[in-house]
Every structure is written in C-alpha cells, then in structure tokens.
C-alpha cells in the first residue's frame, strides 16, 4: 500500500463501518416489505375458505390466486435483493478491510504477538463476510417484525393472540439464554483456536529440526492436546446452541398445534371462521420462524459479532495514525539519543540509555556478548521495535515523523534470519516494488556482488524462490538479503550478523558493499560477532548487559577489548588498572513514548 492510497483506504474502511447504519436502515425497510408480503399466505387462506368456498365462485378463486402469486413474486424479488445486498456488503467489507487488516497483521509481530494472532485479523474479515452470506442476518432483520404477525393473529381473535404472544415470549427467553450461555465460551473458544494455530505454525516452521532430532511425535502430541482443548470448547458451544435450537423447534411445532387446536375450538363455538384457523396457523409459523432460525445460527452470530468488533478496532488503529508531512531525504547524520527499548512480548527492558552520533560516510560496528542487546539496537534503529524513551534521528528528525513507506526508501535492513517473500529474485531485491527499474535491481545485486550468481540460476532474476525462499542456501539468501538492503542506495544501512552464513568470497563482497555505502555518503551499522565483518567500519560500540559500555575508533576499541580479554584470563595480580572508554551521552532526552497494537 503506497502513501497516497494508505490514508484514502483507511478512510474508506472506516466509512464503510460507520456507513453501516444507513445500510441497516435500508435492509430493515426491505425486511419490513418482505414481512408484510409474508402475510399473503394467511390472507389467501382467509379468502379461499371464507369467500371462494362459501360462494362457490371459480372466478373469485382464480382472481385471489393470481393476486397471491403476484404478491409471492414480489416477496421473492425483495428477498433476493436483501440477500444480494448483504453479499455485496460482505464483499465490499472484504475488499476494503482485508488489506488494512493484513497491514495491522504485518505490524503485530513487532509488538510481541504471534503470527497466528496476527493472521486472526484477516480471518475476522472472512468470518463477517461468510456470515453476511448466510441465513443468520435474515433472522436478525426479520425478528423486529414479529409484532406484525402477532397483531394479525390478535385481530383474528384475542385468545389466539395471547397464546401466540406467550409462545413468542418463551422463544425469546430461549434466545436470551442462548446468548448468555454461549457468550461465556465464545472468547475462550477463540483464544483456544489461536493457541492451537500458534502451535501448528511453530511445528511447521521447525519441521526440519524436529524431524532430524526425533521430537516430531512430541510436537504432534502437544498440538493434539491444544486441539482437544479447542474441540472441547467448540463442542460446549455447539451443544448449547444445538440444544436450544432443538427445544425451539419443538416448542414452535407445539405452539402451531396449540394454535390450531384453539382455533378449531373457537370455530366450533362460532367465534372464528374456518379460514381463520389456517390463517392463524400460517401466521404463527411465520412469526416464530425468525426466532427459531436465530437460535439455530447463534454460534455464527456471536462469532461474527466478535469479529466485527475486532475489525472496528483494526480500522480505529489505522485511523488514529496521523498523516505526516513529507520530509527531505536524510543526507547528514544519524543521532541516537538516550534510547531505552523493551521487548514487546514481555515488556522487559533490553536496552537502556544508549547514545551515539554518526555522520554521513561513516560505518559503525556493534559488538558484544550474545544477549547483550545488539539485535535490539538494530531493531530500534530501523523502527521495527518502538523506543520507550529517547529518540533515533535522521538529520535531526525522529524516525516516527516518517511513514513506513517513506522511511523504507531511506533505510536498508538485513536481519539475522533472512526470509524471502514468495516471489522471484528480482521481486525480493526490489522489495516488491511494481515500478522497479531493471537497472536499479541489477545495481543492488552488483553492489552485493551476486549478479553473477543470480544469472546462473535457471531463470536468472525471474527465478521463483518459493515460500520463505527455501530453494536457496542460507548463504545465498543472506547475499540476496544484502542486495535487498542496498536497493536504491538507502542512506542508513543496518546489517545484523551479515556474515553468519558467508564464505571468504562473501565476506569480501560484504566489506566492499559497506565501503560502497560510505563512499556514496551513506551510513552503515554492522552488528557482528566475527571480526571479519568489521574491516570497513570506522567506529565500534560495545553493547553489554543492555548498555553501551564503550564507543570509539575501531582500532582503539578492539585493542582495548583484546587487552581486557587477556587480563580476564591472567591472574588477578597481573591485571593492570585501565579506564573504561567513555560513552557519548546526549544531555537532552526525549519524553516517554509508547506504542502497541490493540
């Protein structure tokens, strides 16, 4: 979604949800016409038994039959209109909200949600669209028109009206009981579904490891237990709705028989005509049908209601994002001002009060022990994880001042785990840009020194990589990921363990690529364990225990680290007194910032 379409699509999605009131009014009126025309059967019975049969007039019978056929035809037309309007509302909702829901789903893992939880946003759209094409909405739109039929029966005879109202009250109580009892299980059932899907997704992602080390069976057993919990909750919900639906059907049939018997008794006493017996029975059946249908579909109604609420939350999340003014491309500096970063999933602070400044044409290496916070710093610099305090500035502008699309044009990122999208080599390098020029793709490949490797592939740049790019080796994926990071010469390039899967030739190409970023006036940051990745950097920062404990020229920091490592191995008496390399500190810190996905 590009910048120009983003706000418009967000507004369209919200307008669709807010404009549902007008559509509901239209469908309510159409349902009123349908229900008025549904009285055709009752009036037809009255006329046949009380007029045509008593007069013995065939022309009268033919005339009222033709009129009834015409009215039934109109009822069918309006019913078709209502059904098609609901289906098209579902299609419009899907067309407008599915991309926005997916946009939120793409962001959710950054804030600690699992992929399964994120994908539920898209499934919510499917749930609502499927519900709108079912019988559930018909029942809901017909329910408010029950008094029309009850009033008709009451006009025929007050006793019939009282009996029918009593039956409608009992069925309404059943519907309320169904709502109360299913509501308790609806959220738990949804959460169980997400948990089951999370385990299934994790098992599929780790299939090779589980197969190789022989614990696939235990993983399947773990899934089986989660699936049992999911099925247990689903069964309870289905049992409730199914039980009340069966009771509703029995009571409706019992009510029809009771009305028929009472009408016959009143006819015997001369208080009701014979035609009214059939008319009252038909009208009572039509009055009770929406309640019966609603109870039978209550599980779907509850699921659709919860899904629609979450869709509204999704739209609200996107709507509150302010539109930002376009800023000039950064060209001068990167300033990190006292940033503190926490894990989105646990809330635990992983990086505290880190500050440094880099000028255009510089490259920085980031080293330190595993778990010290190096990858957290990379995620904060690229905006993948939000910072709690402080600021990351490009040419003095904090990165939240850019939209994701605008920032992406100035930023290249190579994560530790390189994953390709399901597309061709060229699409992956070009970041799915539909207007990518071949010369820009080839330039990025040449900057990463993989042009020759790509053209040797079966279809060259048009080679399909398949899901996650598993058709390539880890080293090939890493080098294509490097080309993707260098596409269109971004100002800031952040490389996290860029040589973890590279051979000597790949490391030489990496060094050349970093030098190229510096030569064109960009800034490169390299997170590394292996010193060979630091050949082209100018300065080095040491991250340890979530803090930057040293920052300075590369040779000085590496020499200091070497002495420190040697001193730790020597006896305590031989350790010299050394002063720590000072860390750059910025006096003015930004106010607290928090971010998250509802």
pLDDT digits (tens, 9 = 90+) for 225-250: 989 988 888 888 888 878 888 888 88
176 CB-side CA count, 13 A: 6
Q: What would the DSSP string read from start to end of 315-363? A: HHHHHTSPP----PPP-SEEEEEEEEEE-TTT--EEEEEEEEEEETT-E
pLDDT in tens, 197-213: 888 877 877 777 777 77
Answer with the residue of higher pLDDT: 502 or 335.
Answer: 335
The yes-or-no verdict on residue 383 having pLDDT over 50 is yes
Domain ranges for the chain: 8-319, 356-386+400-410+490-582, 418-488
User: Average per-residue pLDDT in the chain?
Assistant: 83
Q: Do 226 and 199 touch, CB atoms closer than 8 A? A: yes
Q: Which homologous superfamily is 8-319 in?
A: ABC transporter type 1, transmembrane domain (1.20.1560.10)
Q: Give the residue, 577 or 229, on which the prediction is more confident.
A: 229
Task: Quickly list DSSP for 76-126.
Answer: HHHHHHHHHHHHHHHHHHHHHHHHHHHHHHHHGGGGT--HHHHHHHHHHHH
Residue 321: pLDDT band by 50, 70, 90 thresholds? low
Residue 19 pLDDT level (bands cut at 50, 70, 90): low
CB count within 10 Å of CB 379 equals 22
pLDDT tier at 569, thresholds 50, 70, 90: very low
User: Residues 215-223: contacts with CB within 8 Å, 24+ apart?
Assistant: 223/196, 223/199
What are the tens digits of pLDDT across the range 411-447? 999 998 888 888 899 999 999 998 999 999 999 999 9
Helix (H, G, I), strand (E, B) or coil at 419: coil
Residue 585 pLDDT > 60: no
Percent of the chain with pLDDT over 90: 38
pLDDT recorded at residue 1 = 38
Residue 566 in this model has a pLDDT that exceeds 80: no
Give mean pLDDT, residues 150-170. Answer: 90
Average pLDDT over residues 251-272: 89
- Asked whether residue 299 carries a pLDDT value surpassing 80, the answer given is no
The Cβ of residue 435 has, within 10 Å, a number of other Cβ atoms equal to 7
Answer whether residue 583 shows pLDDT above 60.
no
- On the question of pLDDT at 592 being above 50, the answer is no
Q: Tokens 């592939």 appear where?
A: 457
What number is the average pLDDT over the span 387-400?
94
Distances (CA, A) of 215 to 120, 134, 199, 203, 391: 28, 43, 14, 10, 44
Statement: residue 16 has pLDDT above 70:
no
- pTM of the shown model: 0.70
Q: Which residues have CB under 8 Å from 87's CB, separation 6+?
A: 132, 133
Q: Are 237 and 189 in contact (CB under 8 A)?
A: yes
**Which of 143-147, 316-320, 563-567 is modeled with the greatest confidence?**
143-147
Q: Report the relative pairing of strands 492-496 and 539-544 from DSSP bridges.
A: unpaired
| Fold assignment, 356-386+400-410+490-582 | Rossmann fold (3.40.50)
Rg (CA), the chain: 35
Sheet holding 363-367, edge to edge: 411-414, 492-496, 523-527, 363-367, 539-544, 547-553
Helix (H) or strand (E) holding 195: helix 158-205
**What is the band of 597 on the pLDDT scale with cuts at 50, 70, 90?**
very low
Alpha-carbon distance of 491 to 333, in angstroms, equals: 9
Any bridge partners for residue 540, and if so which?
365, 552
Residue 116 scores a pLDDT above 60 = yes
Give the integer Cα–Cα distance in Å for 273 and 95. Answer: 55
**Among the listed ranges 41-50, 97-106, 343-352, which one has the minimum average pLDDT value?**
97-106
Give 598's pLDDT tier (boundaries 50, 70, 90).
very low
pLDDT bucket at 275, cuts 50 / 70 / 90: confident
Confidence of residue 95 (pLDDT cuts 50, 70, 90): confident
pLDDT of 288 reads 85
Number of H helices, E strands in the chain: 21, 10
Split at pLDDT 50, 70, 90, the class of 351 is very high
Amino acid 447: pLDDT: 93
- Residue 453: pLDDT above 70? yes
pLDDT at 513: 94
Q: What 8-state DSSP symbol labels residue 468? A: B
Residue 93: the pLDDT is 83
Residue among 399, 5, 468 nearest 207 (CA): 468
Same fold, 356-386+400-410+490-582 and 418-488: yes
Q: Which CATH number fits domain 418-488: 3.40.50.300, 2.40.170.20, 3.40.50.720, 3.30.300.30?
A: 3.40.50.300
């Amino acid at each position: 979604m590009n910048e120009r379409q983003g706000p418009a699509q967000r507004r369209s999605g919200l307008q669709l949800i807010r404009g549902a009131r007008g559509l509901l009014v239209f469908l309510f009126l159409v349902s009123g016409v349908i229900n008025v025309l549904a009285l055709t059967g009752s009036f037809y019975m009255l006329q046949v038994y009380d007029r045509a049969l008593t007069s013995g007039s065939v022309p009268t019978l033919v005339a009222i039959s033709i009129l009834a056929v015409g009215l039934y035809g109109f009822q069918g037309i309006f019913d078709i209109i209502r059904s098609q309007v609901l289906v098209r509302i579902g299609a419009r909702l899907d067309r407008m909200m599915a991309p926005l829901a997916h946009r939120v789903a793409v962001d959710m893992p950054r804030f600690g949600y699992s992929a399964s939880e994120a994908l539920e946003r898209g499934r919510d759209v499917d749930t609502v669209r499927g519900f709108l094409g079912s019988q559930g909405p018909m029942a809901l739109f017909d329910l408010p028109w029950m008094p029309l039929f009850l009033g008709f029966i009451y006009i025929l005879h007050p006793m019939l009206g009282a009996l029918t109202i009593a039956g409608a009250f009992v069925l309404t109580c059943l519907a309320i009981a169904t709502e109360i009892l299913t509501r308790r299980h609806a959220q738990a059932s949804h959460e169980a579904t997400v948990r089951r899907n999370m385990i299934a997704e994790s098992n599929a992602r780790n299939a090779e490891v589980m197969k190789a080390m022989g614990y696939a069976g235990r993983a399947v057993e773990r899934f089986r237990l989660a699936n049992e919990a999911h099925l247990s909750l689903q069964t309870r919900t289905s049992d409730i709705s199914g039980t009340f639906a069966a009771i509703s059907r029995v009571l409706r049939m019992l009510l029809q028989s009771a009305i028929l018997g009472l009408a016959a008794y009143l006819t015997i006493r001369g208080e009701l005509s014979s035609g009214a017996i059939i008319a009252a029975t038909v009208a009572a059946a039509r009055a009770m049908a929406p309640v019966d249908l609603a109870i039978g579909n209550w599980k779907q109604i509850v699921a659709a209601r919860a899904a629609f609420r979450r869709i509204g939350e999704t739209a609200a999340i996107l709507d509150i994002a302010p539109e930002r003014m376009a800023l000039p491309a950064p060209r001068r500096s990167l300033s990190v001002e006292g940033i503190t970063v926490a894990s989105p999933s646990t809330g635990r602070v992983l990086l505290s009060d880190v500050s440094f400044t880099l000028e255009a044409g510089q490259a920085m290496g980031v080293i330190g022990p595993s778990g010290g916070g190096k990858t957290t710093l990379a995620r904060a610099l690229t905006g993948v994880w939000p910072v709690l305090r402080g600021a990351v500035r490009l040419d003095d502008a904090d990165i939240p001042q850019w939209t994701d699309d605008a920032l992406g044009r100035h930023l290249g990122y190579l994560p530790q785990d390189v994953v390709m999208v399901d597309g061709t080599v060229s699409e992956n390098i070009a970041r799915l840009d539909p207007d990518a020029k071949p010369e820009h793709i080839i330039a990025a490949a040449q900057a990463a020194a993989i042009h020759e490797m790509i053209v040797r592939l079966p279809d060259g740049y048009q080679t399909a990589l398949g899901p996650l790019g598993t058709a390539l080796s880890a080293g090939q994926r890493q080098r294509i990921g490097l080309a993707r990071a260098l596409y269109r010469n971004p100002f800031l390039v952040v490389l996290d363990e860029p040589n973890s899967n590279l051979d000597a030739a790949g490391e030489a190409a990496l060094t050349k690529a970093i030098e190229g970023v510096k030569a064109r006036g960009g800034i490169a940051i390299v997170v590394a364990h292996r010193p060979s990745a630091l050949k082209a950097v100018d300065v080095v920062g040491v991250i340890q225990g979530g803090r930057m404990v040293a920052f300075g020229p590369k040779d000085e920091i590496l020499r200091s680290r070497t002495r420190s490592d040697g001193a730790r191995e020597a006896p305590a008496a031989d350790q010299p007194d050394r002063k720590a390399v000072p860390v750059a500190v910025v006096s003015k810190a930004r106010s607290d910032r928090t971010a998250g996905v509802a």
